[in-house]
Structure 1
C-alpha cells in the first residue's frame, strides 16, 4: 500500500514541480491580506473590545494559513482533468489500490499546502510584528494540514460524482463563501463583536471551531478549552472525508 501511495504521490508531485507557479499563486492572496488588511486590523484590534487574545498578527496570520487549507476544496479540479485526459481510465487497469490513488493525490496537496503555509509564516515573522511560540505555530500547522486532507478528500469525491467543471465550480462557490464568512477568518465572530443570531449561526459551522483551535494553538493556548472542540472536529472530519473519498474512488473507478 505505502509503495503504491508513494508512486501516485511521486507522479503528482512531478507534475506540480513542472509548473511551480502554484507557489506564488497560492500565497498571493494571503500576502495581500497581510500587507493591505493587516495594518487596518491593528487599528481595529487596539480600539475594539471583543477580539480574542493577542495582537492583530496573532489573530490574522493563523486565519490566513487556515484559509489556504480551505482552498483545498479546489483539489477536485485535478481529478476532473485526469478524467478528461483519460488518466483515470488507464489507472483502472493497474493493480494500484483505489485508496492509494486517493491518498497519493491528497499527499501531494498536503505538501503544497505545507510549503505555502511555511512561506506565509516566514513572511509574517520577518516583515510584520508577529510573535508566536514555535510549538504553538507547529501545532497550528498540523491542524491546517489535517483540514487540507479532509477537504481535498471530499473535493475529489464530489468531483468524481459530478464529473463536470460546470457543476463543480458553482457548487464550490456556494459552499466556500458561507464557510469563510461564518468561520470568522478575517474578523473573529465573538459574543463581544457579533450580534447574538450571527454568533449562534457561526457556532453551527464546524469550521468555526477549527478556526478557534487554530488561533488558540498559534498563541500558545494549549488548554482543553482552547483546543479540544476544534481538534475533535478536525479529526472526525478528516476520518469521515477520507473514508468517503476512498469509497467514492472505489465505486467510480471500479
Structure 2
C-alpha cells in the first residue's frame, strides 16, 4: 500500500544523487545515505504519499462496521473490537507496502538508475536495508493516523506498547522488503513473474495469519498451516501489544520470527544483488 513509484533520477545528479556520490563510510552511514535518497524521491511525489495515508482510513471505515458481528467485546474481555482489528490493519499495511517494494526497483532497473546506484561504493546490504526502511517510513505515519482516528470510537491507546509494536514490524518489514527486492532482481527480465509470485504468496500469508478473521474459527488444516506462517506470530504479538501487555509469550515468538525473517531476507537479497552484478 505504501509502495510509491520513483522517478529515474540519476544516482550522480540532483540532491538525492549527491547523497550517494563519492562516499565510503560505515554501514549505518551507508544505510542513512540510501534512506535519504529514497525519501527524497518519495517527497517529490506528494500525491502518492497523501493517497497512501488515506487508503488505510478508507479500509478501516469499510470494515469497521462489520466488526461487531465477528468479534464481540465479551470475547475480548470487554475491550473494543478495534483493539483486535486495528493491529491487523497495520500489519496488512506493512505487508503490502514491503511486499510490493520490488516494483519500485523494477522501475529503476528499467530506467537504468539502479545500475548507477550499484556503481557507488555503498555496501550491498546498506542498499537493501535503506530501501526497506524507506518503505516503512510511511507506515509510522499511517499507523499514527489510524490510531488517532480510532480513539473516539473505543480504541484505547497504550503509547509505549504501540511504539514497541511498530519496532517489531520494522524488523519484520526489512526482511520482507529484502525478499521483495531479491524477487525483483531475479525477475528483472520478466516483470510479470514478479507480480505472479508476489500475489501468489502475499494473500495466503495474509489469510493464514488470522489477520482479518480469527483462525480459531477455521478448519483444523488452516490452523496447522498458520502455525508455520511467521506472520501469524507477528499478528498475535501486535494484538497483544496494542492491548497493553508486555508479558504475553506471543511477543517472544514474534521477536524470533521477525529476526529470522529479517536475517533470511537480507541474506537472500544481498546474495541476489551480488549474483546479478558478478
Fold in common (TM above 0.5): yes
**1:150 and 2:175 correspond:** yes
Deviations 1:199-248 (A, max 9, x none): 22222222111111111111122224231212211111111111221222
C-alpha separation in 1, matches of 2:56 and 2:77: 20
Which has the larger share of helix?
1
CA 1:6–1:142: 2 relative to 1, 3 Å: closer
What are the equivalent positions in structure 2 for 1:151-166 lying under 5 Å apart? 151-163=176-188, 164-166=190-192
Q: Indicate which of 226, 240, 244 corresponds to 2:250.
A: 226
Kept in 2, the 8 Å contact 1:209–1:229? The answer is yes
What are structure 2's unaligned runs of at least 5 residues? 1-25
What are the equivalent positions in structure 2 for 1:154-193 lying under 5 Å apart? 154-163=179-188, 164-190=190-216, 193=217
> Deviation at 1:18?
0.6
Name which of structure 1's ranges 102-111 and 209-218 shifts more when overlaid on structure 2: 102-111
Residue 115 of structure 1 corresponds to 141
Q: Indicate which of 76, 83, 95 corresponds to 1:70.
A: 95
Secondary structure of 1:184's counterpart equals: coil
Kept in 2, the 8 Å contact 1:45–1:55? The answer is no
**1:210 and 2:230 correspond:** no
> Which structure's relative contact order is higher, taking Cα pairs within 8 Å and 6+ residues apart?
1
Kept in 1, the 8 Å contact 2:53–2:141? The answer is no
Secondary structure of 1:46's counterpart equals: coil
C-alpha separation in 2, matches of 1:82 and 1:53: 49
Aligned length: 250
C-alpha separation in 2, matches of 1:53 and 1:215: 15
C-alpha separation in 2, matches of 1:239 and 1:38: 35
What are structure 1's unaligned runs of at least 5 residues? none
Secondary structure of 2:130's counterpart equals: helix
> Deviation at 1:27?
3.8
C-alpha separation in 2, matches of 1:128 and 1:166: 42
Secondary structure of 2:38's counterpart equals: helix
Residue 133 of structure 1 corresponds to 158
Kept in 2, the 8 Å contact 1:52–1:188? The answer is no
C-alpha separation in 2, matches of 1:93 and 1:27: 34
> Deviation at 1:112?
2.2
Deviations 1:19-59 (A, max 9, x none): 1233333344432232121122024322885x688321000
> Deviation at 1:102?
1.6
CA 1:224–1:44: 2 relative to 1, 3 Å: closer
C-alpha separation in 2, matches of 1:205 and 1:111: 25
C-alpha separation in 1, matches of 2:66 and 2:177: 32
